[in-house]
Amino acid sequence: MATDLKDIADTTHALDAAALMRLLPARPRLLALGEPTHGEDALLDVRNELFRQLVEHHGYRTIAIESDCLTGLAVDDHVTSGAGTLDEVMERGISHGWGASAANRELVRWMRAYNIRTDDEGRPASERLRFAGLDGPLEFTHAASPRLALTALHRYLAAHVDEGLLPCTADTLDRLTGTDDRWTDPAAMLDPSRSVGRSAEAGQLRLLADDLATLLDQQTPHLIAATSRDERERAGLYARTATGLLRYHHWMADTSPARMTRLCALRASMMADNLFAVAARGPVLVHAHNSLLQREKSSMRLWEGVVEWWSPGALVSARYGAEYAFVPTALGTIRHQGVEAPPPDTVEGLLYQLPEERRVVDARRLTATVADSRPAPRVSPWFGYAPLDPAHLGTTDGLVFVKDVR
C-alpha cells in the first residue's frame, strides 16, 4: 500500500532544538545525535546549530564527540580557560584526523567565545561549556600505550595520598611500560602474536592499574576535601582509561574466534563509561556515528566474518532508560561520494520527496504511518555511508533528515 506524501509531511517539523525537544517526554540527561557517515561538515554544521540552541534555550552545557577522551582534555582546557591556541588544540585535541574539519573548528571557537562572554570576565564555572571525547585512545588499527593514563593517575595520587599506600613508584610504571611503539604496532590488529598485551610486564601493569584505581576510590572522602572536582574527574578518566587500555591490549593478544567481538565490545564499554562520567555534570549532547548510539546491537563484517556487540548507546540506554534519547540522522544524497537519490520505497526515499532541505521527524508517528507500506532497507553504493535500518526506526526518539549533503 502506497503512503500518502501528506501523511509523511505531517510527521515532520522545521529543524531546530525546540522541535526536537517537543518529541521527548522530558529533557534527557544524554541526548545522542547520530550521523550515518563521517567527515561531512554539512552534518557537523547541523550538530553545531542544534548544540547552540540547546545551550541557549535548554540548559545543555557539555558536548561529547567521537574522539579520543585524553587528547580531548586539551580542547576542554582551551574552551574553559583559553589554554593553548585554537590551531594547537585542533591539531592535537581531536583524534581520527577530524581536527582538520572546519565545522569542528567552528564548534571549538564558538564554545570558547561563549565562555568568555562580551564583558571579558568569563562565565561562572557552573555555566561554562565543556568539551569531552567519548572514545578511548583507540584507532581501528591500534591502541595507545597505557603510559599517559597510568602516569597521570599515579602523579595525582602521589600528590595527595600517603606514599606508603601507593602500590608502586612512577619509575616502576615507566620500566614496565617500556617503549610506546611496543603497544601501538599496527601489525598486532591482524596478528595477535605481535601484541604485547599478554606479556609479563603487561600483566603486572594490569594489576597495578587496578590497585591505583581502587586506591582512588578508597580515598574519595579525602580527595573531595583536598582537590577540585575537575581534578578528581580527570583522575577518574585516567583510571578507567588505563584499566580499559590494558584490558584491550590483553585481548588483542587473544587467538580465539571471539577476539574481535571482545575488542569491539571493550571499546563500546569504554565509551559508555565515559558518557556516564560526563553525564554526572548535567545534560550532555553526544555526537557520534548512528551505529554507536543506537539501542540495538552493532555489527561489522571483518576478515573473520560478521561480529556483533552491544553498542555504547545500548549500554547507556539500559542504565538510563528515558534519560537517554537517541536521534539518528538520515540523508538523501552524498553525490560527491556516489550516493544518489534514494529509492522511493525506502524511508529516506519517502522523506526525500518533501521539499524542505532539513527536517526533524517524529519517528514514532512516521513508523506508524509507513507500517502498511513496509519500507525497504536502502543499499549504499559507498562503504562510508550506513543507511537507516527501517526496522530500527521505532526504537528511536526522533529523526533528523538532511536532504542533500553538499
Indicate the helix (H) or strand (E) that contains 30: strand 30-35
Q: Which pLDDT score, from 0 to 100, does residue 4 have? A: 83
What number is the average pLDDT over the span 299-317? 92
Q: Are 387 and 379 in contact (CB under 8 A)?
A: yes
Residues 171 and 223 in one domain: yes
Tell me whether residue 89 is in a domain: no
CA 161, 230, 96, 310 torsion-angle sign: positive
Q: What residue numbers bound the domain in which 173 lies?
A: 142-254
Task: Give the model's pLDDT for residue 253.
Answer: 98
pTM for the full model? 0.96
Q: Are residues 320 and 221 in the same domain?
A: no
Residues facing residue 68 across a β-bridge: 135
| Cα–Cα distances in angstroms (integers) from residue 84 to residues 65, 87, 247, 312, 369, in the given order | 20, 8, 32, 31, 51
Q: For strand 305-310 and strand 297-302, is the pairing parallel, antiparallel, or unpaired? A: antiparallel
Looking at residue 219, what DSSP letter applies? Answer: T
The cell for 147 is 603510559
Is 70 among the domain residues?
Answer: no
Higher pLDDT, 219 or 117: 219
Look at residue 108 and tell me if it is in a domain.
no
Q: How far apart are the first and last CA of the chain?
A: 33
Has residue 380 been placed in a domain?
yes
Number of domains present in the structure of the chain: 2
Within 13 Å and on the Cβ side, how many CA atoms surround 148? 16
Distances (CA, A) of 97 to 92, 93, 104, 221, 290: 9, 10, 11, 40, 19
Quick check: 119 pLDDT over 60?
Answer: no
Query: Are residues 245 and 313 both part of a single domain?
Result: no
Cα 351 to Cα 312, 336, 354: the distances in Å are: 28, 20, 6
> What pLDDT, on the 0 to 100 scale, is given for residue 300?
87
Contact 354, 8 (CB under 8 A): yes
Question: Distances from the Cα of 157 to the Cαs of 147, 161, 223, 250, 284, in angstroms?
Answer: 15, 6, 9, 25, 29
- CA–CA gap between residue 289 and residue 275 (Å, rounded): 15
Please give the grid coordinates belonging to residue 129: 561549556
Same domain, yes or no, for 149 and 246? yes
Q: Domain holding 353: CATH number?
A: 3.40.1660.10
Query: Is residue 30 pLDDT above 60, yes or no?
Result: yes
Are residues 3 and 54 located together in one domain of the fold?
yes
29-33, 121-125, 165-169, 310-314: range with lowest mean pLDDT: 121-125
Residue that finishes a domain, picked among 254, 272, 298:
254
